[in-house]
Structure 1
Amino acid sequence: MKKLLKNILIVTAVSSIVSCKKSYLDTEPTNAISIGTVFETTDNAKMAVNGLAKMMTQQYLSTQGFNGEGTIKMYYGNYPGNHFSINLSSWAPIINSTYNDNTISVYCYYPWYYYYKIIGNANTIILHVDEATGASTQKDFIKAQALTYRAYCFLMLVQLYGNRWDDSHGGSTPGIVLRTDESNGDQARANLEDSYKQIYADLDQAIALYTSSGLKRTKNYEVDASVAYAIYARAALTRQDYANAETYAVKAMDGYPLMTNTEYNAGFCTPNREWIWGSYGASDETLYFYSYFAYIAYNSSASAVRTTPKMISRELYNKIPSTDMRRSLFLDPTGYTYTTSTGNAASSTLLYKYAFTTRPSLNSTASVYAYMQFKIAANDQPGVGNLNHFRSAEMYLIEAEAKYRQGKPDAEVQNLLVALNNTSGRNASYTCTKTGTALLDEIKLYRAIELWGEGFDWFDMKRWNDPINRKTYANGGNFITSLALTITPDANNKWTWKLPLKETDFNTLAE
């Protein structure tokens, strides 16, 4: 595996397929190899799929710390959310979502660039794998994997660059450019409904091919039918297709029991039985200070962590029951002295010393802040770890919300929340008897608690049509003044990123 990830990365080595025509994204390397060579055998084609996996943990655009999927989780899911606190006033345009309509910004451009780069390479695999010499079952499995990647990328693009379903007038508003071949010419955006139809079609075909292949993956970083089911569940939930969300959530979690408390405390950097899909990370493949874990892992030696540790919002923390093990994953400042305008605990304070006592792996020069996170750690310095994308806890929560939205018996929803929170051991005292709107609020609360820091925060708030509401310490929160604000659902282009100028300048039909 290590050798594969170092040496097999098609990116644009098989073709310069990108989201836009002409050459503005032409990054063909000097070691480019022909399509004929890549698809000469199914063994070669498998390595091309492995290249897709590598693309999710690769550095892009040289600056700004763009590191594949980790950047999406941090800059687009965590930073602008409601429950992720970080004292970075200079990042206010990202955290406060004011770059959504700044079409020349690299932050507007990055997700478009990154996901279409994967899509372009997935398209090449889909279109050419049947030319390879090898068993038909292997070809089916490889094509299914490429379709799964494409569906995932389309889904992420739809969430960022498309309206929330509530604002789409039944899916009639613009969606994304559905590039499913190797052409780079002008192409109009599909509407949102057709964008989701393509995601569904890719997943339907992938699932059928996984079945016909009869093959199984061997590593968590590979995709298989379970991953396709999980993407389907998330896509259907986002599209408010609750029947399919429920159906595929149940399928996705099959065979992935909830992790133990010991596994929960292990830093979310090593795959365990609950992980449906993650990205591979190892010391000999590190991105060093550009890696995801160098931006969030509490024990990282990177300055991005040591100087500005990541914190849970004070309000969300206070909603975690004292009997819940997840509360211990954040630094409780109760009874200690710290700076109440920023959360900082000076090295002379008892809170500072307590932090190092409870988490000895903290870097010796790390700053300590009230409510700082201990959930996510690194396996090696400065930021090495495996990155999770889907786990069964999310599927429990999708099933619960889907059942609620369909008006199914409250007991069915309550039982899922009990299974997630009580039966799992996360909180042996947890019970749920809530009904009506209070039950929906309970689902939202436990999505926030369970999935904190994993890149869901902003996406969930957008999907729900709920406002971001951050408060300063003086007002009961723990955000610095420049980031403590309310962002209503209709603000900032309704939380929808506009297409970057680098697309519309070269694709005249895109807008």
Structure 2
Amino acid sequence: MSQAEIIESGFSSINIGSWMWAFDITKDNTAGLPTFWGQIDYFTYSYCSAGDYKMIDKNLYNEIPASDTRKQWFHPSVLISWYKFYDSGRKAMGDRTWTNDIVYMRVEEMYLINAEANTRANHLTEARASLKALLDQRDEETASKVNDMNADQLLENIYYNWRVEMWAEGRGLLTLKRFHKSMVRGENNYALTGETISFEDSRLIFEIPEREITNNPNLQK
């Protein structure tokens, strides 16, 4: 997606060129209010539009430089999604048919995977090329510095881009674990405000259902 598309597209149509895997939502198959769009979009008749906001963590928002176009994705004071995942009607509670499409995978993720894998394999030339290709359409100021980054700097920048580029697309948990990071919950979080969450925190491990433990005699504890 070009610099213009990431602001103008609304991430709402299966016809967006960089979408690799998505679901075409229609009036016939929509699940209505209890959906992704019902949770995330202020311009959809939704929980978000009624005040149950899903916001970017304030600490992460503050990390985004002014030169990064993606900062415009978020409302500058409320920090809700404003230009990422929005109904094109741009009217509060305007979409009451819930027909915006759902993205599961897009090309930008492939650039981040390539950049990360090549950095970890010490193929820094290839890593820089992938990261720069993404940032050329996001943050030209940072893109101009990529060729001077060493391996550690590349990994830090790639981690940042995983968190910002893929915000609300379901990549946060495994990214945190893969990079062995801790996260301090920003002041705009409803729960656990200011708490540091480690990638090793037991709350981030899915538990085996009790019924499976009870009914499966072959399960090794």
State the TM bucket, normalised to the shorter chain: 0.7 to 0.9
Counterpart check, 1:301 vs 2:42? no
In structure 2, the residue matched to 1:169 is none
Aligned-residue CA RMSD in angstroms? Answer: 2.0
The offset of 1:463, in angstroms, is 2.3
In structure 2, the residue matched to 1:221 is none
The offset of 1:393, in angstroms, is 0.5
Counterpart check, 1:428 vs 2:140? yes
In structure 2, the residue matched to 1:142 is none
The partner residue of 1:486 within 191, 196, 201 is: 196
Residues 331, 276 of structure 1: alpha-carbon distance in 2 compared, 3 angstrom cutoff: same
The partner residue of 1:326 within 67, 70, 77 is: 70
The offset of 1:304, in angstroms, is 4.5
The partner residue of 1:461 within 159, 169, 176 is: 176
Distance 2:65 2:186 in 1: 21
Distance 2:202 2:67 in 1: 39
In structure 2, the residue matched to 1:395 is 110
Q: How many residues align?
A: 208
Residues 471, 309 of structure 1: alpha-carbon distance in 2 compared, 3 angstrom cutoff: closer
Q: Are the aligned partners of 1:401 and 1:443 in contact in 2 as well (CA < 8 Å)?
A: yes
Distance 1:292 1:481 in 2: 21
The partner residue of 1:498 within 194, 207, 215 is: 207
In structure 2, the residue matched to 1:264 is 6
The partner residue of 2:17 within 273, 277, 301 is: 273
The aligned amino acid for 2:112 is: L
Q: Are the aligned partners of 2:32 and 2:38 in contact in 1 as well (CA < 8 Å)?
A: yes
Identity of aligned residues (%): 26
The offset of 1:404, in angstroms, is 0.6
The offset of 1:291, in angstroms, is 1.3
1:120-161 deviations in Å (ceiling 9; x for gaps) = xxxxxxxxxxxxxxxxxxxxxxxxxxxxxxxxxxxxxxxxxx
Q: Are the aligned partners of 1:286 and 1:383 in contact in 2 as well (CA < 8 Å)?
A: yes
Distance 1:282 1:421 in 2: 33
Distance 2:58 2:212 in 1: 40
Residues 460, 323 of structure 1: alpha-carbon distance in 2 compared, 3 angstrom cutoff: same
In structure 1, the residue matched to 2:92 is none
The offset of 1:414, in angstroms, is 1.7
The offset of 1:378, in angstroms, is 4.1
Residues 383, 508 of structure 1: alpha-carbon distance in 2 compared, 3 angstrom cutoff: farther
In structure 2, the residue matched to 1:419 is 133
Residues 325, 471 of structure 1: alpha-carbon distance in 2 compared, 3 angstrom cutoff: closer
In structure 1, the residue matched to 2:218 is 509
Q: Are the aligned partners of 2:19 and 2:103 in contact in 1 as well (CA < 8 Å)?
A: yes
Structure with more of its chain in helix, by fraction: 1
The offset of 1:382, in angstroms, is 5.5
Q: Secondary structure, in 3 states, of the residue corresponding to 2:22?
A: strand
Distance 2:191 2:20 in 1: 39
In structure 1, the residue matched to 2:100 is 385
The aligned amino acid for 1:376 is: F
In structure 2, the residue matched to 1:444 is 159
TM-score (norm 2): 0.84
The aligned amino acid for 2:21 is: W
Q: Which runs of 5+ in 1 are unaligned?
A: 1-258, 334-369, 473-477
1:236-262 deviations in Å (ceiling 9; x for gaps) = xxxxxxxxxxxxxxxxxxxxxxx1234
| Alignment of structure 1 residues 227-246 onto 2, 5 Å | none
Q: Secondary structure, in 3 states, of the residue corresponding to 2:116?
A: helix
Q: Are the aligned partners of 2:42 and 2:48 in contact in 1 as well (CA < 8 Å)?
A: no
Q: Are the aligned partners of 1:278 and 1:388 in contact in 2 as well (CA < 8 Å)?
A: yes
Distance 1:299 1:417 in 2: 32
| Alignment of structure 1 residues 356-367 onto 2, 5 Å | none
Residues 416, 388 of structure 1: alpha-carbon distance in 2 compared, 3 angstrom cutoff: same
Q: Are the aligned partners of 2:69 and 2:139 in contact in 1 as well (CA < 8 Å)?
A: yes
Distance 1:313 1:401 in 2: 23
Distance 1:263 1:488 in 2: 35
Q: Are the aligned partners of 2:38 and 2:98 in contact in 1 as well (CA < 8 Å)?
A: yes
Q: Are the aligned partners of 1:270 and 1:385 in contact in 2 as well (CA < 8 Å)?
A: yes
Residues 285, 378 of structure 1: alpha-carbon distance in 2 compared, 3 angstrom cutoff: farther
The aligned amino acid for 1:403 is: N
In structure 2, the residue matched to 1:74 is none
Q: Secondary structure, in 3 states, of the residue corresponding to 2:189?
A: coil
Structure 1 or 2, whichever has the larger Rg, is 1
